[in-house]
Amino acid sequence: MRNVSVAAIQMQCSKNVEENINKADTLLREAVKKGANIVLLPELFERQYFCQERRYDYYNFATPLNDNPAVKHFTKVAKELNIVIIVSFYEKDVNVLYNTVSVIDADGSNLGIYRKTHIPDDHFYQEKFYFTPGNTGFKIFETKYANIGVGICWDQWFPETARSMAVLGAELLFYPTAIGSEPILECDSMPHWRRCMQGHSAANLMPVIAANRIGLESVEPTTENNNQSSSLNFYGSSFITDNTGDLVESASRDKEEVLVHSFDLDELKAMRLEWGIFRDRRPETYFNITK
């Protein structure tokens, strides 16, 4: 038996970086008290979801990996608590800016980064203004407790993301997220969002862990944003599935919460083999989807 406990942190994010890091630290320690070995923090949790508006001065939020306040803080915490932490941050690599995660192992070592592959561009989710599509490719991280794959928010809508990480040997799939109200479409996308990832879980026979933020974030008109006024209501609903896509942990839409669940990785591995999903793949016939 190889048992591992995973956690998803759901939190509200302010404009104060230090405040958000401290809050994330507090919630993370709560997860560790519940037995968590691997902890997922929400997408870009260091500050408000700045992609709601277009401002050139927000480019200054980006930092190199080793200079990022959250990465530096949680590197120390990972070593202190002997846990794996997935940290989302706005990365600057010389002249190029990315939406990135750093995976920090239980000894405080940085196992590497993944840069968000799929970049959305929608009303108030204006990420193409801030991020270049990632160049790392999909990958897995061999942590102390499990081999994990990490996608970032919009990546979660693409089955190719989950399947690529599963084929590479992931045992658990993690998705830090910032998603909420649809400013133009008259719909509640939350159930659809969940079902999409539940499908990835079921199709690949492995758990999915998703961490979202909560709360209303508003934009006030300024010269810098061309007098834009808008708001997004982030709907939380973070969750953890089992390897069949069933929800085993589920958070509310409007409260800060810590979700923790345990899995036997050897049992999950045996079930993947028994179902034959990867044995019966026919990648030589899938060329149409790569055109």
153 given a catalytic annotation? yes
Q: How far is CA 26 from CA 29, 141, 287, in A?
A: 5, 25, 47
> How far apart are the C-alpha atoms of 199 and 197, rounded to whole Å?
5
Q: Which of 153, 171, 217, 256 is catalytic?
A: 153
The residues, any chain, with a CB within 8 Å of residue 106's CB and separated by 6 or more, are 37, 78, 79, 82, 83, 84, 143, 144, 145
The pairing of beta strand 147-150 with beta strand 38-40: unpaired
Q: Which of 53, 92, 116, 127 is catalytic?
A: 116
43 given a catalytic annotation? yes
Cα angle 117, 8, 197 (rounded to 5 degrees) comes to: 50
> How far apart are the C-alpha atoms of 66 and 205, rounded to whole Å?
35
Neighbouring C-alpha atoms within 13 Å toward the C-beta of 125: 19
Asked if 256 and 11 count as a contact pair (C-beta separation under 8 A), the reply is: yes
116 given a catalytic annotation? yes
The catalytic site residues sit at 43, 116, 153
